[in-house]
Amino acid sequence: MVLAVRLLLALVGGVLGYEVGTRFLPRLELASLPYGLLVAACAVVAIALGVLVGGLVGRAVTRLGRRLDRSTSLVTASGLLFTTFGLFVGLAVAALSSLAIKDLPVVGPYLLPLLFAVSGYLFAYLGYKRHTDMARVLGFKGLLQQPGAKQFIHPKILDTSVIIDGRLADVVRTGFLEGDLVLPGFVLEELQAIADSTDPSKRARGRRGLDTVRRLQEEGGRVTIVERDFPNLQEVDAKLIRLAKEIKGELLTTDYNLNKVARIQGVEVLNVNELADTLKTVVLPGDKMRVRVVREGKEEEQGVAYLDDGTMVVIEGGRRRVGEEIEVEVTSVLQNPSGRMIFTRLVL
């Protein structure tokens, strides 16, 4: 948009500069070469001004477009219909009232624009505020459907934590996750702020999140960026919950606190950490497995190994087998909030 406006104003500026040069420079009675150079200089200066002003105007138009998109993205059809109807009613009332006002001495002509503006705004506002009741009374219940609910089928709203986590792209590629993936604009802005951080660790996490977004766009094409914001809310978590309620979506996250708060407020949550815990290998006492001992354990004669999913395996008598791949037998499984531990012994 900015580039298009710049090119347009540069073209207009060049034409105007040429016209100004050809109209006023002949009065100086210059030779053909200086005259041509001055005309060209006028056109170049005008083009430069057009590019400069076009950048400012283009950015302003882009910001205005985003604001309009956020303001109208979730407005129902009945809201648009009855707001427009209220505006026309207000203008009609103002037109009738102007018959009595236009002949007033001195102030009459100045009151007419104010009358049309105030009357049109009041009736349009009234139509928007009461559009739900009027749609129900007139039997237009189908117009009350939220655009977000029509556009998305079981949408999954991504938060910052699940994007930075990185595992989401692999889950989506497998096809186990249905519906569209909704990336709010304010989450993308938060990711960009993290990626621009002066802290190296934060910067790395933010860039990994942006890479995840790019992978999701390239592999599945199911990511929809929604420019919907809630200026009255400061916290990103609160904005996510509000958006989920409006479009009847589900939050996709790894944030434990957001998980709890969202469920308290009646929003469905899909936690990738819970999915990973569910998909861990199920083992029972007596099962045998082969593992590689990677280090010594805390207790005497213990060795420690890890499964592919990160589960710790404690091996009785494995201290002397560090670096070796051995066969062990499961004796017990301990499940706690921090994860799962499997206790085993050497198979002789």
Domain range list for the chain: 2-72, 77-144, 150-278, 288-346
User: Which residues neighbour 234 within 8 Å (Cβ) at sequence distance 6 or greater?
Assistant: none
Placement of tokens 């506002």 in the chain: 125
Number of helical H runs and strand E runs in the chain: 13, 11
74: left (phi over 0), alpha (psi -120 to 50) or beta: alpha
Residue 207's pLDDT is 92
Residue 251 structure tokens: 């939050």
DSSP run (H or E) holding 272? helix 272-278
Enter the pTM of the model.
0.46
Q: Residue 133 half-sphere exposure, CB side, CA atoms within 13 Å? A: 5
Residue from 65, 54, 45, 63 nearest 4 by CA: 54
Residue 30's pLDDT is 55
Measure the CA dihedral 161/166/170/176, to 10°.
0
For 172, other C-beta atoms within 10 Å of its C-beta total 20
At the fourth CATH level, which superfamily is domain 288-346? Answer: Nucleic acid-binding proteins (2.40.50.140)
DSSP symbol at 63:
H
* Per-residue tens of pLDDT for the chain, all 348 residues: 667 767 777 787 777 877 777 776 665 555 566 667 777 787 788 888 878 887 787 787 777 766 666 555 556 667 778 888 888 988 888 888 888 777 777 666 777 888 888 888 888 888 877 777 777 777 765 555 555 444 446 788 899 998 998 888 888 888 777 778 888 888 989 999 999 988 888 899 899 999 988 888 887 657 888 887 888 888 889 999 988 888 888 899 888 888 889 889 888 888 888 887 777 767 888 888 899 999 888 888 889 998 876 788 999 988 888 888 899 999 988 876 556 788 999 887
301: left (phi over 0), alpha (psi -120 to 50) or beta: left
Measure the CA dihedral 195/198/201/205, to 10°.
-10
Do residues 315 and 297 touch, judged by C-beta distance below 8 A?
yes
pLDDT in tens, 143-162: 555 554 444 467 888 999 98
Q: Is 155 exposed, middle or buried (0-12, 13-18, 19+ CB in 10 A)?
A: buried
Residue 12's pLDDT is 79
Residue 247's pLDDT is 82
Residue 243, CA distances (Å) to 16, 187, 247, 259 in order: 48, 12, 6, 15
Gap between the Cα atoms of 149 and 172, Å rounded:
22
Amino acid at 238: A
Q: What is the number of residues in the chain?
A: 348
Q: Looking at the domain 150-278, which fold is it?
A: Rossmann fold (3.40.50)
Q: List residues bridging with 224 in a β-sheet.
A: 182
Do residues 144 and 120 touch, judged by C-beta distance below 8 A?
no
CA quadruple 77, 83, 86, 92: dihedral sign = negative
| Long-range contacts of the stretch 6-12 (C-beta < 8 A, 24+) | 6/50, 6/51, 6/54, 6/55, 6/58, 7/54, 8/54, 9/50, 9/51, 9/53, 9/54, 9/57, 10/47, 10/50, 10/51, 10/54, 11/50, 12/50
pLDDT in tens, 33-57: 666 777 778 778 888 887 888 778 7
